[in-house]
Amino acid sequence: MDLNHIKGIGEKTVSYLHNASIYSVEDLLRFYPYRYQILSPSLLEETSLEEVVTINVIVSQVPQVSYIKRNLNALRFVCESNGKRIRVTIFNRAFLKRNLVVGKKISLTGKYNAKSNTFTANDIKFSWLDDAKIIPVYHSIKGIRPITLEKLIDEVLQNNLQLEDTLPLELKEKYRLISISDALLKIHKPKSKEDVKQARRRIIYEELFEFMFKIQYLKQLKHESVGQTKHFDQKKLDCFIESLPFSLTNDQRKAVDDGLKDLESSRCMNRLLLGDVGSGKTIVATILLYANALAGYQTAFLAPTEILAEQHFRSIRGLLADSSLEIDLMVGSLSKKEKENILERCQSGQIDVLIGTHALLNENLFFNRLGFIITDEQHRFGVNQRDKLKSKAVAPDMLFMSATPIPRTYALTIYGDMDTSIIKEKPKGRKDIITKVVKEKDLREVLLKVLEEIKLGHQVYVVAPMIEESEESTLKNVELLREKFDLAYHGKIPMGVLHGKMKKDQKEEVMHDFKIGKSKILISTTVVEVGVDVSLATVMIIFNADRFGLATLHQLRGRVGRSDLQSYCYLICNEDKERLHVLEESNDGFYISEKDFEFRGEGDLFGVKQSGDMSFSLADIRRDYDILMVAKEDAEEYVVKKMYSGSQHFKEIIEKIDFTN
């Protein structure tokens, strides 16, 4: 039902609600309180100076109003509370004066100062507060006062809206869940804690069930889909693996085997390659795309940023230099002519491997025989983006790579519809990165270490503080840091600066200078967050480290320690944050992600961007893990038995599924 149907709602309010993604009456009802305040009357003698309390009193003297300033008035009166007379002050409520007649029972909310025997109220209600009252507290919506929001919700609830219950009946009965109408009433207007509990139980289960339904549905669909069987020259492939400058770790070998089996099988590959930063995923992908090429198919390799695309391009081309493969790079900043050239050669099948950013999604880009799609840092791409690429091929094999460490149990849930290969083992000779949390005032210690390392011919990354994600101020921070470092080293150390607003060639030049060691310190925003590979870099300094989740910090730290040199990471912050010490203790991404989860909940699970599919209103997959598991089983049965057919609601859910996930 449209918001305009709510009695007394205005245009403006509607548009503010729209801004908060509330488009219908149902959306409004599903804007749940995020916590509850439990109000119960206090006794005056039990209150302390700081505490906000509510007390029941009787007015015993007519109020006086005094006007203090133009926008400030005070209403003062005397009350009796349990036989004790106290003085009450409330500001800017002169209009209440005539309601406050002697003998009236009212309740006051505010703070009591026993010394002066005054109660400074911030709210007055014209009745006594009886027993405990549960008051919902909502996140604020820009432009809408909390009281207005409550009124709107009240209005809707009073109209006794009959919502269709979307949860299958047998599941509701199985867990004795209350109906959705009941749940919505109880979540907004609970009469007891039990009401809140029942309502939450119902809504959380529903959220998780629908979430798992989508995953199970996808899984089912993928099991049914048939792809190409790819035949490749195993000897040539073995030769290639032999020729690598290092031998694969066991985990890498296993991942390669998994992937090759997928390519050979008639089922489509739908595999997640999960491995910590620096664990060597790129080489696994390279071997697989080589096999794909040997079988006569093209590969598209999608990376989230230009820098990364370029790096993959360079390293893959380097690794496959002796092959006859045609490998190209497609990024937004290419000239029109360069792009056209790529479009042409891609369509004709001349290009075997096309690496690129979202520029690969170009509508005019066609492949001749696209058989394999690799997506790096897959969670960074939007739903439609991946969809588009997939549509350029017929039943392609899909490999997703992620360095975002996710606790394994959760990974299996979230990526429940994919096969998974995990690289845990680091390449031989890698040393743990020595990590230290340092207060900003002790920066000197870090600056000295930097000097020491630079004298050894090593290099340093500096990540500038990120301020409220505003590019302007982050830019300023990068410049400020450069000045600071220049001052500290008397301008004697060559430095590069990298940020999101730079032109492609500028970025390229800065990166290049750093890669070849022309500059020794690279100061940047989090642009360098993923994947950049400079093996002589041994120090990573992260400012305002407390602003990042542990998983993100761990990823940033992974820019160093990519050779057998001892590396260091300094986490600079103003106050000591307990959680940062987890990084001092451990270099294990999975362990760190477990800890991150403990400290921050699922919010930061995916690092920078959160996948839309994963945002629940009430459910928290960590806290509600048991419910999630039950919902998973239920959803599986529901999907396998195709019990959803005939339900309009589930039809709608299916329509909204991101099929590239």
| 3-class SS letters over 379-408 | HHCCHHHHHHHHCCCCCCEEEEEECCCCCH
Contact set for ligand ADP, span 510-549 (CB under 6 A):
531, 533
Nearer to ligand ADP, 87 or 253 (CB): 253
Of 20, 286, 328, 5, nearest to 144 (Cα)?
20
The dihedral over CA atoms of 229, 232, 238, 241, expressed in degrees to the nearest 10, equals -80
| Residue of the chain from 270, 279, 378, 555 that contacts ligand ADP (CB under 6 A) | 279
Site string for Mg ion, 90-109 (x = CB under 5 A): --------------------
CA distance 341 to 337: 6
**Helices marked H in 177-233:** 180-188, 193-224
Site string for Mg ion, 276-305 (x = CB under 5 A): ------------------------------
Q: How far is the CB of 22 from ligand ADP (least distance, A)?
A: 41
**Least distance to ligand ADP from the beta carbon of 344, Å?**
31
Contact stretch for ligand ADP (CB under 6 A) within 47-55, 57-65, 245-253, 384-392: 245-253
- Choose the contact partner of 356 out of Mg ion, ligand ADP, none; CB within 5 to 8 A by kind: none
d(CA 612, CA 658): 10
Which residue's Cβ lies closest to Mg ion? 531
The binder of ligand ADP chosen from 282, 305, 435, 526 (CB under 6 A): 282
Q: Report how far residue 298's alpha carbon sits from residue 326's, in angstroms, rounded to the nearest whole number.
A: 10
Structure tokens at 173: 């009965």
Q: Could you give the string, one character per residue 417-456, with x where binding to Mg ion holds by CB under 5 A and - elsewhere?
A: ----------------------------------------
CA distance 391 to 400: 16
Residue 551 CB, nearest approach to ligand ADP (Å): 14
Nearer Cβ to ligand ADP (590/659) = 590
The answer to whether 286 and 319 have CB atoms below 8 angstroms apart is yes
421 touches ligand ADP by CB under 6 A:
no
Q: Under a CB-based contact definition with an 8 Å cutoff, are residues 146 and 51 in contact?
A: no
| Among the listed residues 106, 215, 272, 277, the single contact to ligand ADP using CB under 6 A | 277
Residue showing tokens 């950049």: 532
Binding partner of residue 252 among ligand ADP, Mg ion, none, CB under 5 to 8 Å per kind?
ligand ADP
Query: Cβ of residue 284: shortest distance to Mg ion, in angstroms?
Result: 10
Could you tell which of Mg ion, ligand ADP, none binds residue 279, using a CB distance below 5 to 8 A set by kind?
Answer: ligand ADP
- By CB under 6 A, tell whether 565 contacts ligand ADP: no
The footprint of ligand ADP on this chain (CB under 6 A) covers a number of residues equal to 18
CA nearest to 569, candidates 277, 274, 252, 246 = 277
Is residue 136 near Mg ion by the rule CB under 5 A? no
Q: Which member of 54, 252, 292, 587 binds ligand ADP (CB under 6 A)? A: 252
Q: Residue 387 CB: number of other CB atoms within 10 A? A: 15
Q: Are 168 and 643 in contact (CB under 8 A)?
A: yes
- Round to whole Å and give the CA distance between 606 and 329: 27
Continuous segment of H or E residues that includes residue 243? helix 234-243
Q: Stretches 63-71, 128-136, 248-256, 515-523: which one binds ligand ADP (CB under 6 A)? A: 248-256
Residue from 203, 248, 462, 464 touching ligand ADP (CB under 6 A): that is 248
Buried b / exposed e over 460-499, threshold 16 CB at 10 Å, is: bbbbbbbeeeeeeebbebbeebbeebeebbeeebebbbbb
In whole angstroms, the minimum distance from the beta carbon of 263 to ligand ADP comes to 20
Site string for Mg ion, 514-553 (x = CB under 5 A): -----------------x----------------------
Say how far apart CA 130 and CA 133 lie, in whole Å.
Answer: 8
State the minimum distance, in angstroms, from the CB of residue 603 to ligand ADP.
24
The correct pick among 356, 427, 496, 561 for binding ligand ADP (CB under 6 A) is 427
Closest distance of CB 354 from ligand ADP, Å: 19
Contact partner, 202, from Mg ion, ligand ADP, none, Cβ < 5-8 Å per class: none
d(CA 301, CA 399): 9
Q: For 654, how many CA atoms within 13 A lie in the half-sphere containing its CB? A: 16
Closest residue to ligand ADP, Cβ-based? 280
The Cα 572–Cα 320 span in angstroms is 40
Counting contacts by CB under 6 A, is residue 280 touching ligand ADP? Answer: yes
Q: Are 319 and 325 in contact (CB under 8 A)?
A: no
Using a 10 angstrom Cβ sphere, with 0-12 exposed, 13-18 middle and 19 or more buried, the burial of residue 133 is middle
- For ligand ADP, the closer of residues 278 and 465 by Cβ is 278
CA trace torsion 289, 294, 297, 298 (10° rounding): 50
Count Cβ atoms within 10 A of the Cβ of residue 338 and give its class: 0-12 exposed, 13-18 middle, 19 or more buried.
middle
Of residues 524 and 555, the one with the C-beta less far from ligand ADP: 555
Q: Which of residues 395-414 bind ligand ADP (CB under 6 A)?
A: 403
- From the list ligand ADP, Mg ion, none, which binds 435 (C-beta under 5 to 8 Å, kind-based)? none
Binding flag, residue 278, ligand ADP (CB under 6 A): yes
- Nearest to ligand ADP of 63, 427 (CB atom): 427
Smallest gap from residue 531 Cβ to ligand ADP (A): 6
Q: Is 281 in the site for ligand ADP (CB under 6 A)?
A: yes
Which residues are at the interface with Mg ion (CB under 5 A)?
531
List of residues contacting ligand ADP (CB under 6 A): 246, 248-249, 252, 275, 277-283, 403, 427-428, 531, 533, 562
